[in-house]
Chain A
Amino acid sequence: MSDVKSKIRQFLTKYIEHNNFNDDDHLFEKGYVSSLLAMEMVVFVEAEFSIQVGNEDLNLDNFKSVDAIAGLIIKKTDN
């Protein structure tokens, strides 16, 4: 889990310069996510973890924070 979160943080810090966010911070509510980053998040999760984000996964709750993204990845890789 910590390795997954580390990879997510590493990815996000390319977009969120200050790197001053917690794993449970709502990235959208804090205004960190541009339209480009939203798409990049999906591409990153799919390419980095070899999973397919489906219709049912494309939900704000699955991408709102580092914790949420990690949860989605764990869930998809467990399946």
Chain B
Amino acid sequence: MTDSIQARFQSFTQTHVAPLASRHDRLQCIDPELVGQLAAQGYLGAIISEPYKGLGLDMPTFGLLNYELNKSCTAVRSLVTVQNMVGRIIERWGNAEQKDQWLPVLAAGEKIAGFALTEPEYGSDAAGIRTCFTDHGDTFAITGTKKWISFGQMADLFLVFGQAEERLGCLIVEKDTPGLSITPISDILGARGTMLAQLEFDACSVPKENLVTNLGFGLHPVAFTGLDLGRYSIAWGCVGMAAACLEASVTYASERRQFGSCLKDHQLIQALISDMTVDIKAAKLLCEHAGRLAETNDRNAMQEMLCAKYFAAGMVNRVTAKALELHGANGYAPEQGIERFFRDAKIMETIEGSNQMMQIMIAKYGIQHG
């Protein structure tokens, strides 16, 4: 069952995503037609449950989807990640009206969602966010700035985190809400197709019924619900990206000849390939383990997702660097895709929690649970 569904993911990505990956990077946007194709496959609602028109994939299978997508294109995997993060939060913590209103349109890709937590001055210190929700009776007026918001340039709605009189919470905000202005962020190092944006909220008026769960206690579990999924998704994406680099490296080493023999016959090249292979397998095992625990709502799932994300993000940087090394000068040319993966890899150590935040949380958990 899993093999056949993975074959379906693979077939889709090879046919529809891979040919566009370089273009997404170069033009710094995602092909709108592909967004429609992703929606038609149900991938934008991959983990939204079936009653809300999603695919209702289990966590291990969702991991494989991320793996296959990121073997071709980080930006496309990222689109699927963010859309499912927001969908998961609304399904987990939204009220019945919010679920009925938003989940089917998110699952169908009729609306694209953004996750607006990070601010110019607050990244890792998410609890310190300064975006302000001012109570105006039936509405909140949002004032503040969000930065580095993936797909902020194309999203139709945002999950915006902020605080009302020091009580943290989050609101669903549609992009055409008066007072919201969106500025593209371009020419970043990697993951260039993720259409980043800065959002400015100037007394942006939003109905109170758009509040996802209650103020005060809501931010942490709500944000973690999204971030957990994001980390899991990114970890699998790293494994996919690294696997693509390994495959390309093995092909290149089998074809490229130096000193009268193929590169693959040189022992120092074999050392590179063996290190890449073991690194990828280790990360994949961590991802599979985290996925199994998450699926059974195991208490240790969050910890295992942190471990998977932390290890996979480091791993993909090691592997892409080795792939670049193995390809020599050819690796620097865009045709091979290696240089794109090399640039894309670095951001994996930052998004949804920097390496250092992963280390702190893993250590805290380890100390507390022995």
- Are A and B subunits of one complex? yes
Residues of A within 8 A of B (CB): 14-15, 35-36, 38-40, 42-44, 46-48, 53, 55-56, 58-60, 62-63
Q: Which B residues, 321 to 370, have Cβ-Cβ distances below 8 Å to chain A?
A: 361, 364-365, 368-369
Residues from chain A with a CB closer than 8 A to the CB of B258 are: none
Known: A14-B368, A35-B127, A38-B220. A58 touches B361 (CB 8 A): no
Count chain B CB atoms within 10 A of each CB in A48, A53, A60 and give the residue with the most. A60
Question: A38–B217 contact, CB under 8 A?
Answer: yes
Question: A60–B214 contact, CB under 8 A?
Answer: yes
Interchain CA distance A21-B15 in the complex, whole Å? 60
Residues from chain B with a CB closer than 8 A to the CB of A59 are: 214, 216-217
Question: A60–B216 contact, CB under 8 A?
Answer: yes
Residues from chain A with a CB closer than 8 A to the CB of B223 are: 35
CB distance from B127 to the nearest CB of A (A): 5
Interface size class of B (residues with CB under 8 A): 20 to 34
Using an 8 Å CB-CB cutoff, how does the interface string of B103-127 with A read, 1 for contact, 0 for none? Answer: 0000000000000000000000011
| Nearest 5 CB-CB pairings of A with B | A38-B220, A39-B224, A60-B216, A60-B217, A14-B368
Question: A55–B93 contact, CB under 8 A?
Answer: yes
Q: Is B2 an interface residue (CB 8 A)?
A: no
Interchain CA distance A79-B295 in the complex, whole Å? 25
CB distance from A52 to the nearest CB of B (A): 9
Interchain CA distance A15-B365 in the complex, whole Å? 9
Q: 8 more A-B contacts (CB under 8 A) besides A35-B126, A35-B127?
A: A14-B369, A15-B368, A35-B219, A36-B220, A47-B297, A55-B95, A58-B217, A60-B216
Question: B221–A58 contact, CB under 8 A?
Answer: yes
What are 15 A-B pairs with beta-carbon distances under 8 A? Answer: A35-B126, A35-B219, A36-B361, A38-B217, A38-B220, A39-B302, A42-B221, A47-B298, A55-B93, A55-B212, A55-B213, A58-B93, A58-B214, A58-B218, A59-B217
Residues of B within 8 A of A (CB): 93-95, 126-127, 212-214, 216-224, 297-299, 301-302, 361, 364-365, 368-369
Q: Which of B93, B212, B217, B364 contacts A36, CB < 8 Å?
A: B364
CB distance from B211 to the nearest CB of A (A): 10
Interchain CA distance A65-B369 in the complex, whole Å? 21
CB distance from A76 to the nearest CB of B (A): 15
Instruction: Select from chain A the residue with minimum beta-carbon distance to B228.
Output: A39
Instruction: Select from chain B the residue with minimum beta-carbon distance to A59.
Output: B214
Interchain CA distance A38-B352 in the complex, whole Å? 18
Count chain B CB atoms within 10 A of each CB in A15, A42, A53, A56 and give the residue with the most. A42
CB distance from B216 to the nearest CB of A (A): 4
Residues from chain B with a CB closer than 8 A to the CB of A15 are: 368
Question: B213–A58 contact, CB under 8 A?
Answer: yes
Residues from chain A with a CB closer than 8 A to the CB of B93 are: 55, 58
Residues from chain A with a CB closer than 8 A to the CB of B365 are: 36
Interchain CA distance A60-B22 in the complex, whole Å? 48
Q: Which of B94, B127, B298, B369 contacts A55, CB < 8 Å?
A: B94
Interchain CA distance A15-B369 in the complex, whole Å? 9
Residues from chain B with a CB closer than 8 A to the CB of A38 are: 217, 220-221
Known: A35-B127, A38-B220. A44 touches B214 (CB 8 A): no
Interchain CA distance A47-B220 in the complex, whole Å? 18
Interchain CA distance A63-B217 in the complex, whole Å? 8
Instruction: Select from chain A the residue with minimum beta-carbon distance to B212.
Output: A55
Question: A47–B299 contact, CB under 8 A?
Answer: yes
Interchain CA distance A55-B369 in the complex, whole Å? 28
Residues from chain A with a CB closer than 8 A to the CB of B219 are: 35
Interchain CA distance A48-B220 in the complex, whole Å? 20
Residues from chain B with a CB closer than 8 A to the CB of A48 are: 299
Count chain B CB atoms within 10 A of each CB in A15, A43, A46, A53 and give the residue with the most. A43
Residues from chain A with a CB closer than 8 A to the CB of B298 are: 47
Interchain CA distance A35-B221 in the complex, whole Å? 8
Count chain B CB atoms within 10 A of each CB in A35, A42, A47 and give the residue with the most. A35
Q: Which of A14, A39, A56 contacts B221, CB < 8 Å?
A: A39
CB distance from B167 to the nearest CB of A (A): 8
Interchain CA distance A62-B219 in the complex, whole Å? 15
